[in-house]
Amino acid sequence: MRLARTPSSAAPFITQLIFTILFAGFFFVVSVEMWLHAHPVVLAFLAVFDIVAIGLLIDVALRSWRMIMEHEPVVEIDRNMLAYGEPALLKVTEPHPQLVAEMDVKLVGECSVTDAVDFSQYRHSTTNFTRCYEEELLRITPQNDKPVKLLMRMPKLPPADGVAWKIVVNSRQKNGAVVEYPFPLRVREH
């Protein structure tokens, strides 16, 4: 069974694209308006924001090129749902090994942690996800696009209540970029 990657790599890109368009558009309009009315002090101040806007536009262009050119690894598992203490056969395929300097595969469990702060009459709570389990399953330098098979085993007991399990493939590219690909696992409780 092929594992689906979540979240999609398009979601953060679209969010950044919208922010960049709004940021660059706003400062372009304000800069043109100030240029027409010739306020040199304000123009110098706005030049800094214009440079940041140009940098954001370049970043979005590079990210869109990487999204088009980048192909994520394929992760397959031999069963639909795992149980604690159960082994599973995992196959990992890197479709473009010539671009990857090193790749590692980890079994990761994420837990929710709630932090509460009491203010005089009320309580403010924040809930965050943190890794409560992490086990490196494999670290390789891909030589070809053939699948790498490995036997993994779920821990015998969950490290905490409500653990979200995933296979995480970290890919260190030859151009220096590090990309993390999370693939959620379905694990049934005892």
- Helix and strand element counts for the chain (H, E): 2, 9
Question: What is the distance between the alpha carbons of residues 132 and 109, in angstroms, rounded to a whole number?
Answer: 6
CB 31 within 8 A of CB 42: no
Mean pLDDT by 10 residues, the chain (190 residues): 66 82 87 77 79 86 72 86 92 87 93 78 80 92 89 90 90 84 85
Read off φ and ψ for residue 167, nearest 5 degrees: -95, 125
Residue in 128, 134, 129 with CA at minimum distance from that of residue 170: 134
Q: In this predicted structure, what is the pLDDT of residue 89?
A: 94
| The architecture CATH gives domain 74-188 | Sandwich (2.60)
The reported pLDDT for the residue numbered 151 is 92
Domain boundaries, the chain: 10-69, 74-188
